Amino acid sequence: MIRRHPLAEQAAEELLRRIGSGEWALGAKLPGETTLAAQLGVGRSTIREAVRELAGRRVLESRQGAGVFVIALQAAEDWDKVLRKADITDVLEGRLAIETEGARLAATRRTPADLKNFRYTLADRRRAAVKAPDDWYIEADLAFHRAVVTAAHNAVLTELFDTFVPRIRRAMIDMLKLDEEHRHRHDQAAHEAIADAIRAKDPDLAAARSREHLSAVRSSMN
């Protein structure tokens, strides 16, 4: 018999399926380990590992002496996975939403430290656009965009941006590989313009310039 996955993982999937099917409601107590083991036809330690895996995914919670309880009806969305599977267009539109709002807020909240950060990251990007290898250029570009979002001083927006970064990075790598002319290396002016608007404390202008730039990026990746 060939088994693609270990028994413990199969058991975890089966438990997840039963939870999803409504067999056990939110907050309900699962049968004991020995009972479950008998039901699924596996050993007790296998059940324990399955439960432990779902505990790691924040679906189950076991309390010594009391039992195992359902604390979520399904596994929390794994954002890395969602972004990996999504169309790059959808991802870039999500990024646009986060970053234009970030630019808008940054225009009212930016500190002197944020402006200094803009200077550094823009200078880096300018240098990298000319002579650095692709990955340096990509990191320099992302660093500036991150500086903009950071200047919004909103923890949720920053965390959202960081969640998107790996997916965006991969897309940029793929694009630069296909596009020998590195056409995107020439839009330094657009980046300077965004920074200028934030520096000038003009929220609408900052948002507009950010939107303009990111729309162009999205279009170029189709």
Partner DNA sequence: GTTGTCAGCTTGTCTGAGGAGTTGATACGG
Partner DNA sequence: CCGTATCAACTCCTCAGACAAGCTGACAAC
Residue type, 217: V
Residues near 40 by beta carbon (within 8 Å), at least 6 away in sequence? 11, 14, 46, 47
Angle at the Cα of 18 from the Cα atoms of 14 and 22, rounded to 5 degrees: 170
154 binds a copy of itself (CB under 8 A): yes
Residue of 23, 135, 159, 174 that binds a copy of itself (CB under 8 A)? 159
Could you say which of a copy of itself, DNA, none residue 203 binds, taking C-beta under 5 to 8 angstroms by partner kind? none
In whole angstroms, what is the distance from residue 139 CA to residue 134 CA? 9
48 binds DNA (CB under 7 A): yes
58 binds a copy of itself (CB under 8 A): yes
64 binds a copy of itself (CB under 8 A): yes
185 binds a copy of itself (CB under 8 A): no
Q: Which of residues 117-176 bind DNA (CB under 7 A)?
A: none
* CB nearer DNA, residue 7 or residue 132: 7
Residue of 23, 90, 135, 174 that binds a copy of itself (CB under 8 A)? 90
For the chain, give the number of residues.
222
2 binds a copy of itself (CB under 8 A): no
82 binds a copy of itself (CB under 8 A): yes
Q: How far is the CB of 98 from a copy of itself (least distance, A)?
A: 5
Residue ranges in the chain assigned as alpha helix (H): 7-20, 33-40, 44-56, 79-85, 88-109, 112-131, 134-150, 155-178, 188-199, 203-220
Q: How far is the CB of 200 from a copy of itself (least distance, A)?
A: 21
33 vs 40, 67, 71, CA distance in Å? 11, 9, 18
Size of the site for DNA (CB under 7 A): 29
CA atoms 213, 125, 144, 180: torsion sign? positive
50 SS3 class: helix
Residue of 17, 23, 56, 186 that binds a copy of itself (CB under 8 A)? 56
Residues within the interface to DNA (CB under 7 A): 1-3, 6-8, 30-35, 37, 41-46, 48-49, 51, 62-68
